[in-house]
Structure 1
Amino acid sequence: MLAKTTTLEKALALAPNVLLEPKFDGFRCIVFKDGDEVELASRNTKPLTRYFPEVVAAMREQLPERCVLDGEIFVSLGSGGKERLEFEVLQERIHPAASRIAMLAEKTPASYVAFDLLALGDESYAERPFVERRGALEAALGGLAGPCFLTRTTADPAEAEEWFHQFEGAGLDGVVAKPLDAPYQPNARTMLKIKHERTADVVVAGYREHKTSTPEKPLLGSLLLGLYNDEGQLQHIGVSASFTAVRRAELIEELQPLVCDISDHPWGHWEEFLTANPDRVPGTQSRWSQGKDLSFTPLRPERVLEVAYDHMEGHRFRHTAQFRRWRTDRDPESCGYEQLDEPVSYDLARILSVH
């Protein structure tokens, strides 16, 4: 079951006909458990079981004998009131080597938070309204203290608004609203998600062509974005994409006067990299991008763009940034990290604690 984006105000206005939950930032995961047999599947049905042996072991111990659950796998790091979700660390768990999986399962163990019930014992709950599914889920999973958890919910708009602002400090994405009377509908966007959105002025440092681009009709696929760090270096911070075909043609033509040789570009020293690196250098390969053409056209860093983004993951935008407008009034060198909001710290353990 999927969600469509809305505003916090619109979602809260639906109360008391919805339940609101924290939105975890991890891998969406359907769990199938029958005795000691446990299978984990991603949202697009790819198997996840082999990557999270510690989660499978915990589910054998903590979950009902037979059930099908919808939830999220996540990794959290930190201690002493500083525990938070770490999506980049979670991504490292998807690895072909069994030895590395075993090592990471011990070093950065994952957890699972359940937020919906599809089946329990011999009974299917998928056709039942969410209010019934939630009640059965609480009865079946109540009291879990980890590494399997039951997500918390609220019908109080004021509490949900507090969650929206506070829980981001623990690495959460936002808030999800679920209609009380809705059945579980795969691939239907019957839920609502409310995510943080901020803006930043960034430097356009290059572009990649769209997969449908041809020499006769070049089309822009994505813009490569940068911010200057404290040492005055232009750091790759993410991309902006999702343009119409008409806009793709307009942008690639508009940017041609800025095209330069890679040797004259701030990222020219990255030519030497052939594999993924900690800075996620543009044009390099990783296990997430095998077979994709990641080459890019360098641009003189003279144009500033205002983009919308939800939140940061390390030194980069967590998701694709959204094009808002050109900022011809901004000097590229003035675009640094200091303009970005820093969420107030919040401990994930407090969100997951039994309440």
Structure 2
Amino acid sequence: MPRARRSSEPVERPADLDPAIPFPPMEAELVRDLPDGAEWQYEPKWDGFRGLLENASGQLRLWSRNARPLLRYFPELQPLGELLPPRSCLDGEIVIVRDGVLDFDAMQTRLHPADSRVRKLSAEIPASFVAFDVLLWDGEEHWPETLADRRATLERVASRCTLSPATPDRDEALEWLSSFEAIGLDGVIAKRRDEPYRAGERTAVVKVKPEKTADCVVAGVRWKSDGQRRIATLLLGLFDDDGALDYVGSSAVAPARHDEIADAVLPLLDNAPERRFSEPNRWGGGELEEAAVRPELVVEVRYDKVQGRRFRHGTKLLRLRPDKDPSQCTWRELRPPLAPGDPLLERLLRPSPTRD
């Protein structure tokens, strides 16, 4: 199973990768605001596994950004080899769509060591490959060209593949930021149209993730390990359609705000319901003692991503919301319904129209 690479570790180029293919893939720098100007192109930020799809060795291979071969885990992508002429390479993203939404949890289950399990999952939850760049095609190197030229080439030669949408319109990209969350996309990528493909660099690509907030019910606390019964983190919940409170993650309490938070939360320990919090404390602190509280207090938190039924990472506590009824804190906070006119994932993932 591929191991996650630490950001400080160098990426070794696959030993037998054709020298005409740049490696590792180009990266993106996280910024707060989308850049503006005619030199920029905007694309959705897909929530999957990055991959270079190439056949320059004579067989189809799919490389992760960490130089791990991925095609073994996604055998259903093997037919893509019929769409590529010899000595070709596309840069893109492996994604899984379930119920009209990108499913990153399903992606992780696909990295299984057993061949029988891989075959079973490939049939049950098949993946797709979304191409957004062409590096090599029919032996011709395109990566030294500008993105504007590469995009035109991609749309011309790889029209039977699923291509990522792209637009030069910043206003359209800003609309994407506000509407893509409902279908599981992870933000917007901006790329310099006047730059070549810069392997492993972040100088020509930036990414913007929407700043997302949610109102959650305080369902419990974790105590600091100093023996003084001071709150380390708040445990957060949302109500499901049946009125049950689901645990969705935690939010650390800064020392400067401890007394304020404690005044609002500690009285809720009295007559609290019996509750267990199944997720371990993944963000440090060891096995901290937990306690449930009466679900009567709402807090607003900032988060970056939801994975399954949890916040993928820790959240930032913004403020108390004594003005909001806890019953209003439902899964709509994290999974907003599609609004009329929002882009549908099926439409984004359809193959590019064939050009004349």
TM-score, normalised by the number of residues in structure 2: 0.71
What is the distance in 2 between the residues matched to 1:128 and 1:218?
Answer: 61
Q: Deviations over 1:127-164 (max 9, x none)?
A: 443223323333431232xxxx2222121334434544
The answer to whether the Cα contact below 8 Å between 2:104 and 2:307 also exists between their aligned partners in 1 is: yes
Give the 3 Å change call, closer, same or farther, for CA 119–200 of structure 1 in structure 2. same
Corresponding letter in the other structure for 2:64: S
The answer to whether the Cα contact below 8 Å between 2:216 and 2:236 also exists between their aligned partners in 1 is: yes
* Deviation, structure 1 residue 235: 0.9
The answer to whether the Cα contact below 8 Å between 1:219 and 1:249 also exists between their aligned partners in 2 is: no
1:298 aligns with 2:298: no
Match of 1:104 among 121, 125, 145: 121
What is the distance in 2 between the residues matched to 1:239 and 1:189?
Answer: 34
Give me the CA root mean square deviation. 4.1
Report which of the two has the higher share of helix. 1
Could you say what secondary structure the match of 1:59 adopts?
helix
* Deviation, structure 1 residue 58: 2.2
What is the distance in 1 between the residues matched to 2:185 and 2:194?
Answer: 26
Partner of 1:150: 163
Match of 2:244 among 218, 233, 236: 233
Q: How does 1:128-277 map to 2 (within 5 A)?
A: 128-144=145-161, 149-183=162-196, 184-188=198-202, 190-206=204-220, 223-240=234-251, 248-250=254-256, 266=273, 268-269=275-276
What is the distance in 2 between the residues matched to 1:238 and 1:34?
Answer: 45
1:71 aligns with 2:92: yes
Give the 3 Å change call, closer, same or farther, for CA 63–214 of structure 1 in structure 2. farther
Aligned length: 319
Could you say what secondary structure the match of 1:101 adopts?
helix
Partner of 2:55: 33
Match of 2:301 among 307, 323, 326: 307
Which stretch of structure 1 is more off in the superposition, 191-200 or 324-333? 324-333
What is the distance in 2 between the residues matched to 1:216 and 1:67?
Answer: 62
Which stretch of structure 1 is more off in the superposition, 322-331 or 149-158? 322-331
Give the 3 Å change call, closer, same or farther, for CA 322–62 of structure 1 in structure 2. farther
1:343 aligns with 2:338: yes
* Deviation, structure 1 residue 313: 5.4
The answer to whether the Cα contact below 8 Å between 1:218 and 1:249 also exists between their aligned partners in 2 is: no
* Deviation, structure 1 residue 299: 4.8
The answer to whether the Cα contact below 8 Å between 2:41 and 2:192 also exists between their aligned partners in 1 is: yes
Q: Deviations over 1:220-257 (max 9, x none)?
A: 9865321233444321123446xxxxx75556787778
Corresponding letter in the other structure for 2:275: G
Match of 1:6 among 29, 32, 42: 32
Partner of 2:279: 282
Could you say what secondary structure the match of 1:132 adopts?
helix
Q: Deviations over 1:162-193 (max 9, x none)?
A: 54455544432332211112332414264232
What is the distance in 1 between the residues matched to 2:209 and 2:73?
Answer: 28
Give the 3 Å change call, closer, same or farther, for CA 20–339 of structure 1 in structure 2. closer
Gaps of 5+ in 1: 242-246, 271-280
What is the distance in 2 between the residues matched to 1:187 and 1:222?
Answer: 37
The answer to whether the Cα contact below 8 Å between 2:211 and 2:302 also exists between their aligned partners in 1 is: yes
Partner of 1:277: none
Which stretch of structure 1 is more off in the superposition, 295-304 or 342-351? 295-304
The answer to whether the Cα contact below 8 Å between 1:35 and 1:60 also exists between their aligned partners in 2 is: no
Partner of 1:89: 106
